[in-house]
Structure 1
Amino acid sequence: MTASLHTLLDVALRTSIVYLFLLVGLRLTGTRQLGQMSTFDLVLLLIIANAVQNAMVGPDTSLAGGLVAAGVLIGWHRAIDWWRVRSRGLSRLLSGEGVMLIHNGKILQEHCVRAGITRDELQQALREHGVARVDDVMLAVLEPDGAISVVRYDDIKPGDRPHRRIRAIRRNQ
């Protein structure tokens, strides 16, 4: 059974709406979910995937309808990624920025709360980096991809820093 052009355009429109809605919705949940997915988060993601699949293709279960939906998703993803690479503002909007969680051995509690990181999760990340005490940490940052970067005081030693000029990378605009 083949789908009519009207049906395929309907699938494309529905898919676009769902993609953009999920892009905004998942961005609003914050960066923590990206790097630290729990069973709860995985179940939610699977349920959302099933729910939006029906919303994207509607009653059309044809191969053409599925291919149109997949093509639209890939197209939107490529277009937004192309634009994101060229626009720092859009990149910041979609990917977010790093959030400092520890500075000079002190946990920045209000930053942790804003980022949705509990003290236990922060302690776990420190252990994964081989750090036993918060006092040993010069800097810990929740990166836009959800990972937590940790810089210990003993990671930076006098003389380790290169003495040559470091050039900035310029983007073609």
Structure 2
Amino acid sequence: MKPEDIHLTDWLRILVGEVPISFYLEAVLRVVFIYLLLLACMRLMGTRMGSVLTRNEMVAMVSLAAANGVALMAPDRGLVPVVVVAAIIVGYQRLIAWWALRSKKFESVVLDDVRILVQDGRLQLNGLQASVLSREQMLAKLRQESVRNLGMVQRAYQEASGDFSVLMFTEPQPGLSILPTEDAAFRDEQQKVEGQFACGSCGHLESNAQVPTHQCTRCGEQEWQPAVLG
């Protein structure tokens, strides 16, 4: 289309486009075909495609969407290429799943692996770095699980799918408060543990009569807060 053919008042072109009206009936048939094709592809790729997706599965879904989008809107594009692309993607996904079952190393490389983000009430900063997660993002995830101090958490994992699993101690443990500092009144309600201080960066606990003045032996930071219960 030439620039001189574009007019802001040309509502017929803006709303209907430059295709014959008969193409809209064809578009309905295309949508139905591609919808059924996508359902078949998701079924062939396994039940996980209906849950939280791994990066590999997300790439497959985006590729399917990209292949289908053009065929839906362009009358000069046929549907057979879409079927070919879908067959390649489904075959690739099934091959990846088959190989991952037989090779733990391959599964770890392609589908990622489980990472420990919190261990015995302490943040695993190397795990956070590997997961490209900030400290505040991790604390927000824990608060969503009703965690108010790190001492409550025995383990927190990031699964291969990117989802989080949090396992709690059966008995209350002292730890670093993870309530926002902006909510000072709520933080003040937490029971302070006398003689226990938590590193404000990683949650490492130390027993001391006074606020420690040295660096944390785990992370090297020098920010200490009173350990809390509950």
TM-score (norm 2): 0.41
CA deviation digits over 1:53-101, x for unaligned, max 9? 78xxxxx821111111111111111122112112222111112221111
Can you give the 5+ residue segments of structure 1 that lack an aligned partner in the other structure? 1-32, 36-44, 55-59, 157-173
Q: Which residue of 1 aligns with 2:103?
A: 87
More helix by share: 1
> Percent identity between the aligned chains?
23
Say yes or no: does 1:110 pair with 2:126. yes
Q: Compared with structure 1, are the counterparts of its residues 79 and 110 closer, same or farther at alpha carbon in structure 2 (3 Å cutoff)?
A: closer
- Aligned residue type for 1:110: N
Greater RCO, CA 8 A, separation 6+: 1
More strand by share: 2
Q: Distance in 2 between matches of 1:80 and 1:46?
A: 17
Deviation at 1:118, TM superposition (A): 1.4
Q: Distance in 1 between matches of 2:119 and 2:83?
A: 49
Q: Which has the larger radius of gyration?
A: 2
Say yes or no: does 1:124 pair with 2:117. no
Q: Which residue of 1 aligns with 2:86?
A: 70
Say yes or no: does 1:96 pair with 2:104. no
Q: Distance in 2 between matches of 1:99 and 1:87?
A: 19
TM-score (norm 1): 0.53
Deviation at 1:120, TM superposition (A): 2.2
Deviation at 1:155, TM superposition (A): 7.3
Q: Distance in 2 between matches of 1:78 and 1:117?
A: 30
Say which SS state the counterpart of residue 144 (structure 1) adopts: coil
- Aligned residue type for 2:132: G
> How well do the aligned residues superpose, as a CA RMSD in angstroms?
3.1
Say yes or no: does 1:152 pair with 2:152. no
Q: Which residue of 2 aligns with 1:28?
A: none
Say yes or no: does 1:135 pair with 2:151. yes
Deviation at 1:105, TM superposition (A): 0.9
- Aligned residue type for 2:116: M
Q: Which residue of 2 aligns with 1:15?
A: none
Say which SS state the counterpart of residue 149 (structure 1) adopts: strand
